[in-house]
Amino acid sequence: MDDFLSAFGGLSVATVAVVISAIVFFAKLLKAITDYLHKKWELQGEKERKIQEVFEQVKQYPKWYNQSIEIRGGIYKAIEGLEGKLDDLNDSVNCLRQSGDEGMALTWRYRILRFDDEIRHNDRHTREHFDQIMEDITKYERYCAEHPDFPNNKAVFAVQNIKNVYQRCTTEGTFL
């Protein structure tokens, strides 16, 4: 104990407090440095993992590029198929429109012929009825002019008779 007192006996409480404080300070400093280095090591590991993921994706690029080319090829083929189907659909719509227009022309011709039959049987009509049939005649003649293949010779005399009777009724004022 004498050796202890001779070695440490001259220390004051203040000196011991300073030494203990220094030891605590260095311990906390060592802990802070250790935590900092540990976090930095984890961040570096995470960064390396992300870089490795990027490299893996770069390795996959040729495969993905080829897949994209295949997909584009499939899309182009599908579009070409759709274009063909649209052409067919347009042809069908045009055929249907032509059929509808021809059907309307047949309706106009039927109404013209029927009206002609009525006036040949001395049935009288109003001016409005005549105006309507004259409009049908105009449309029918326009359709026949635009479609030379459409058989037009079936109502020529009926149209002429209706126009003559219309002119006579207009001149004489004999509409119903």
How many Cβ atoms from other residues are within 10 Å of residue 113's Cβ?
16
Residue 159 contacts by C-beta under 8 Å, 6 or more apart in sequence?
112, 116, 137, 140, 141
- Rounded Cα distance between 105 and 141, Å, is 9
Tokens matching residue 84: 């063909």
pLDDT tens-digit readout, 125-156: 989 998 999 999 999 989 888 888 887 777 88
Report percent pLDDT > 70 for the chain: 94
- Rounded Cα distance between 102 and 62, Å, is 59
Q: Are 133 and 112 in contact (CB under 8 A)?
A: yes
Amino acid 65: pLDDT? 84
pLDDT beyond 90 at 70: no
Q: What is the mean pLDDT of residues 109-134?
A: 91
Averaged confidence pLDDT in the chain:
86
- DSSP conformation letters of 2-54: HHHHHHHTT--HHHHHHHHHHHHHHHHHHHHHHHHHHHHHHHHHHHHHHHHHH
Q: State CA 108 to chain mean position distance.
A: 41
